[in-house]
């Protein structure tokens, strides 16, 4: 089965967590599926969030990028050590004028940024319509995009490299070399001894139609063996490594 593979990186990134917005803004460690679909939507020129539709009471409408691209499957391989990227708190002033009701309209922001993140991304058409899949692959292979793709904020333009089409086949191997979604008992994954690592993060996996709030799932990255009954349904291999698609 054909898959589009590329390396996604940048000097910094911030995928802001929505549940904390006082004093310090925090970021997820890895690019989650909704943010990735938004980046892909920028490449092919799809529209983003339109608050006017929600304000008008049309709560069952997704952003165009999500509505069109969510039938596609993605796989994310963190290129950081054990799936982790260094984070630092940055302090800056937002002086656009409407950022704060304080005198002078200056908002003082403390925000956590990822430093030099890098991921290997795999895309699979799955149920995505043919014309859009072909346009997406064509834009990536030609190095073209309609809007500038960025890593969570427009201050962080994305670097897209090593783009190519690869052939993948279904797999049932016990080791997974990408992030995968897992809602089972984590103790079942923690039996590999002192050399095993297990990275777990709860992050967005989709949008719900009412107000386009995030739907959350648990992303896991480990070098341990996965029990056969817990293997993801969309697991593929390039002959060397296994990648979970979601």
Give me the CATH number covering residue 146.
Answer: 3.30.70.2660
What is the end-to-end Cα distance of the chain in Å, rounded? 16
Q: Which two tokens stand for residue 5?
A: 């593979």
16 with 26: CB under 8 angstroms?
yes
Say how far apart CA 107 and CA 92 lie, in whole Å. 9
Q: What is the pLDDT of residue 60?
A: 62
Using only C-alpha atoms, the chain has a radius of gyration, in whole angstroms, of 19
Q: What is the pLDDT of residue 92?
A: 72
Q: For the residues 84-88, what does the mean pLDDT come to?
A: 95
- Is it the case that residue 99 has pLDDT exceeding 80? no
Task: Between 153 and 236, name the one with better pLDDT.
Answer: 236
Q: For the residues 134-138, what does the mean pLDDT come to?
A: 98
Q: Which two tokens stand for residue 119?
A: 């991921």
Q: Could you give the 3-state DSSP secondary structure of residue 30? A: coil
Answer positive or negative: Cα dihedral of 42, 45, 51, 53: negative
7 with 80: CB under 8 angstroms?
no
162-208 tens-digit pLDDT: 999 999 999 999 999 999 999 988 888 877 677 899 999 999 999 99
Given its phi and psi angles, is residue 152 left (phi above 0), alpha (psi -120 to 50 degrees) or beta?
left
Q: How many CB atoms neighbour CB 183 within 10 A?
A: 9
182 with 199: CB under 8 angstroms?
no
Task: Between 154 and 92, name the one with better pLDDT.
Answer: 154
Confidence of residue 109 (pLDDT cuts 50, 70, 90): confident
Q: For the residues 128-138, what does the mean pLDDT come to?
A: 98
107 with 94: CB under 8 angstroms?
yes
Q: For the residues 38-48, what does the mean pLDDT come to?
A: 96
127 with 143: CB under 8 angstroms?
no
Residue written as tokens 């802001």?
Answer: 16
Q: How many CB atoms neighbour CB 242 within 10 A?
A: 22
In this predicted structure, which of 1-10, 223-232, 233-242 has the lowest mean pLDDT? 223-232
Average pLDDT score over the chain = 90
Say how far apart CA 243 and CA 233 lie, in whole Å. 11
Q: Which two tokens stand for residue 141?
A: 């292979």
Domain count, the chain: 1
Q: Is 214 exposed, middle or buried (0-12, 13-18, 19+ CB in 10 A)?
A: middle
Q: For the residues 124-152, what does the mean pLDDT come to?
A: 97
Q: What is the pLDDT of residue 159?
A: 98
Say how far apart CA 196 and CA 190 lie, in whole Å. 8
Buried b / exposed e along 106-135 (16+ C-beta atoms within 10 A)? ebeeebbbbeebbbbbbbbbeebeeebbee
Confidence of residue 101 (pLDDT cuts 50, 70, 90): low
Which structural domain, as residue segments, surrounds residue 117?
2-244
Determine what percent of the chain is predicted with pLDDT higher than 90: 74
């Amino acid at each position: 089965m054909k898959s589009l593979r590329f390396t996604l990186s940048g000097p910094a990134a911030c995928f802001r967590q929505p549940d904390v917005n006082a004093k310090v803004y925090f970021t997820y460690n890895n690019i989650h599926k909704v943010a990735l679909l938004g980046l892909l939507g920028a490449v092919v020129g799809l529209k983003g969030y339109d608050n006017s539709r929600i304000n008008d009471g049309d709560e069952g409408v997704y952003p165009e990028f999500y509505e069109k691209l969510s039938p596609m499957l993605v796989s994310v391989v963190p290129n950081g050590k054990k799936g982790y990227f260094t984070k630092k708190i940055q302090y800056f002033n937002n002086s656009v004028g409407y950022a704060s009701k304080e005198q002078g309209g200056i908002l003082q922001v403390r925000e956590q940024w990822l430093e030099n993140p890098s991921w290997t991304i795999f895309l699979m058409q799955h149920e995505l319509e043919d014309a859009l899949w072909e346009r997406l692959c064509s834009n990536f292979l030609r190095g073209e995009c309609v809007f500038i793709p960025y890593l969570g904020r427009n201050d962080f333009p994305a670097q897209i490299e090593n783009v190519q089409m690869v052939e993948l086949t279904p797999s049932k191997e016990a080791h997974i070399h990408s992030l995968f979604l897992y809602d089972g008992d984590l103790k079942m994954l923690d039996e590999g001894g002192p050399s095993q690592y297990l990275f777990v993060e709860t992050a967005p996996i989709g949008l719900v139609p009412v107000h386009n709030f995030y739907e959350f799932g648990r992303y896991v990255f480990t070098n341990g063996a996965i029990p056969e009954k817990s293997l993801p349904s969309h697991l593929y291999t390039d002959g060397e490594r296994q990648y979970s698609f979601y």
